[in-house]
Amino acid sequence: MDATIVSEVQKHYPVLLKEIISIISPQYGGTFIDCTFGQGGYSKKILEFENTKVIALDRDIESEVKANLLKDKFEERFFFKNIKFSQLNNLKLKNENVKGVIFDLGYSYTQVKDPKKGLSFQSQGSLNMQMGLNNYSAEDVINNLDEKELDKIFKFFGEEKESKFIARNIVKERLINKIDTQTLVEIIEKTKRKKNFKVHSATKVFQALRILVNKEISELIFGLINATKVLKKDGVLAVVTFHSLEDKIVKYFFKSLSEKKSISRYAPITEQAEPLLKLNEKKAIVPSNKEIKENLPSRSAKLRYVIKKTDFYNFKTDILDQFNYLIEIENFGDKL
């Protein structure tokens, strides 16, 4: 393949970059937390503005290579931490004017095509899907969890309609052979009765496994809670999601804390509590046709954002109760 074509294919596109920059307004300065550094697209753009500081997080240690390049250029204004974004409240931010926290919940081309990570159904060899700081792999899940547990994982995390039959056939196959990536793909393709020629048969199951292995449900929930805590008054929390489950969680969290009926009652009981967050746009922002044409994976992206109305820290939210059924499924992996 021509080298120019290769470089274009592998080019990294930070999704909805213009929209995010417009929302977080780095031209006015402040500290910004890039919770999913990845290839560094958002961090680079923010640092182009003077009087900004970026604290970037990523659980994938391989992101540190790109981070070190930015550190060399912006030594006093850029800092990288190899931690999960659910732990961002452990950062020492008391004296930081945190004006924006950004989450991009997608995966980069580099990560998807990395054979060691095994995120793609086109990968060869063992199932992995660990993005860093994990306790178990997709191989552990597929070869050890029982049929009912696999069924629930595929059904709720992948929205896979034929989850029960796929789980049953996995359990049958593993009695004979240890299941690797291509074996799993073959099982799914043989099991699926309804074929969707636009979407690969294995897409939903692979999504479900990735969510479980990386504990993406609890990571997102605690990431949202802790991001809201560290934001200063008038700070912006912006989240880009790529599938309906993520979007459902973000939408609920933003809506529940931006309405007066919210349980985040940090004011005295005798007073009517004001909402903690301000929701400027109820509808999600989606990529333009131009962006989708340049970067096809962006077509499923949805951007939602809120503005924090007060510096209050210890608010309450019922989001853990609301999505407890998903966390219970996520906890299946804890026994591995």
Report residue 118's pLDDT band, with 50, 70 and 90 as the boundaries. low
Buried b / exposed e across 164-181, counting CB within 10 Å, b at 16+? bbbbebbbebbeeeebbb
Give residue-wise pLDDT tens across range 232-252: 999 999 999 999 999 999 999
Reported pTM: 0.92
Task: Collapse the DSSP code of 314 into the 3-class scheme (helix H, G, I; strand E, B; otherwise coil) and give the result.
Answer: coil
- Nearest Cα neighbor of 167 from 156, 52, 120 is 156
For the stretch 9-68, pLDDT in tens is 346 689 999 999 999 999 999 999 999 999 999 999 999 999 999 999 999 999 999 999
CA distance 186 to 209: 16
Tell me the fold of 135-213.
Answer: DNA polymerase; domain 1 (1.10.150)
pLDDT digits (tens, 9 = 90+) for 62-88: 999 999 999 999 999 999 999 999 999
| Structure-model confidence comparison of residues 331 and 123, the more confident one | 331
List pLDDT tens digits, range 138-177: 999 999 999 999 999 999 999 999 999 999 999 999 999 9
pLDDT, tens digit (0-9, with 9 covering 90-100), for 193-232: 877 777 889 999 999 999 999 999 999 999 999 999 999 9
At residue 273, the pLDDT reads 67
Q: What is the pLDDT of residue 314?
A: 87
Q: Please tell me the distance from the alpha carbon of residue 301 to that of residue 303, in angstroms, as a whole number.
A: 7
What pLDDT is stored for residue 329 in this prediction? 98
The angle, 0 to 180 degrees and rounded to 10, between the axes of the packed helices 216-230 and 203-213 is: 60
pLDDT band at 1 (very low <50, low <70, confident <90, very high): very low
Instruction: Please give the Cα distance from 162 to 322 (Å, whole number).
Output: 25
pLDDT-based confidence at residue 261 (cuts at 50, 70, 90) = low
Q: Which of 121, 208, 192 is nearest to 159 (CA)?
A: 208
Which of 157, 322, 167, 335 is closest to 249 using CA atoms? Answer: 322
Please give the share of the chain, as a percent, with pLDDT higher than 70: 91
Residue 260 to residues 164, 257, 274, Cα–Cα distance (Å): 41, 8, 6
Task: Retrieve residue 244's tokens.
Answer: 């309906």
Q: How confident is the model at residue 108 (pLDDT cuts 50, 70, 90)?
A: confident
3-state secondary structure 62-119: HHHHHHHHHHHHCCCCEEEECCCHHHHHHCCCCCCCEEEEEEECCCCHHHHHCCCCCC
CATH homologous superfamily, domain 3-109+216-314: Vaccinia Virus protein VP39 (3.40.50.150)
Is the pLDDT assigned to residue 4 strictly greater than 60?
Answer: no
**Domain segments of the chain as ranges:** 3-109+216-314, 135-213
- Of 3-17, 180-194, 215-229, 280-294, give the lowest mean pLDDT range: 3-17
Which range is least confidently modeled, 62-66, 116-120, 313-317? 116-120
Torsion sign over Cα 29, 32, 38, 42: negative
List, for residues 27-44, the tens digit of each pLDDT value: 999 999 999 999 999 999
